[in-house]
Amino acid sequence: MSLKNIAVFLDEPPAGSVCAGYAVRLALRYRAHLVGIFVTPSEWPHASYVRGHDAIAQMIEEQRAKEARSVASASERFECVAEHEGISFEFRTIRPSDSADDALFHSLHADLVLVGHRKPGGLPEYRSAESMLLATGVPVLIVPDRWNSGTIAENILVAWNATREARRAIADAMPLLQNARMVSVIVVDAHTNARHGQEPGADIAVYLSRHGVNVNVERVSSDGRPVAQVITDHALLARSDLLVLGAYSHARSREVLFGGVTRALLKSAAIPLFIAH
């Protein structure tokens, strides 16, 4: 897979500016088409306080004008940074009434979806990075609000636990891995997982190297610490600028639950996080 179509959900600044800037630089690197998606805010006044036909009409008019200003402002911010880099791009809007389904629709036609870390992260009210990932199967890259590293996906850390989800994440992230300066595969508490084999991480490293990835393997012990904390600490120590993670999940009725490590990493998001399922 190559990155030819990237979608970014545009949030309000300053967090939205960080995510949009990241998406533009990523699109520039891979010569990808970038779609900026803006969900129009819905902040209607409480109707019970409005009386009379004229007053209601005025309220609707004022709200529509407010929404139009919000869209125009978001479009101007996005187009300014995209045009500056000379990339192929387009701007799309989603109305609040259609936001949940339309967010999925636009994501289905992308190779990668970027969102902000803190809710809503540019997403509709009833959507999250996790629900988008599970509903579409399209990998999601979460950009921390204050991420200011000068590099993008040059020093990547891959969390490997010999599962289907981790393998899927590597496949989806392959364009990024192949273009990275260095890729480190981290294996935590390998002795607890027989699927790693006699040399934990060695086989996936060979697989990656055959795809042209400059890779090394780091085997670490948690020593009783939370695995998510071990991975985060290692990423910060190694100055990694992207963490690739397979998101394990299971469903109970309509409730979607992620595994503990995934949830903890999503909560902290110390560095950009690429998740796949």
250, pLDDT greater than 60: no
Predicted TM-score (pTM) of this structure: 0.87
pLDDT of residue 78 exceeding 60: yes
Which of 62-71, 217-226, 246-255 is least confident?
246-255
CA 245/CA 243 separation, integer angstroms: 6
Query: For position 148, what pLDDT does the model report?
Result: 84
Identity of residue 93: T
Q: What is the CA radius of gyration of the chain?
A: 21
- Write down the mean pLDDT value for the chain: 86
Where would I find the H helices in 7-52?
15-30
- 249 vs 114, more confident: 114
- CB contact at 8 A, 205 and 216: yes
Q: What is the reported pLDDT for 213?
A: 97
More confident residue, 8 or 42: 8
Burial of 103 (0-12, 13-18, 19+ CB in 10 A): buried
Structural domains in the chain plus CATH codes: 5-143 (3.40.50.620), 155-276 (3.40.50.620)
- Mean of pLDDT values over 25-37: 96
132 touches 123 (CB < 8 A): yes
Q: What is the pLDDT of residues 151-204, one digit of tens each?
A: 999 999 999 999 899 999 999 999 999 999 999 999 999 888 888 888 999 999
Query: Mutual orientation of helices 202-210 and 164-172 as an angle, nearest 10°?
Result: 20
The pLDDT tens digits of the residues spanning 34-69 come to 999 998 876 655 554 656 666 666 666 766 777 788
Share of the chain above pLDDT 70, in %: 85
Specify whether the CB–CB gap between 90 and 83 falls below 8 A. no
Minimum mean pLDDT among 28-32, 112-116, 143-147, 246-250: which range? 246-250
d(CA 171, CA 103): 24
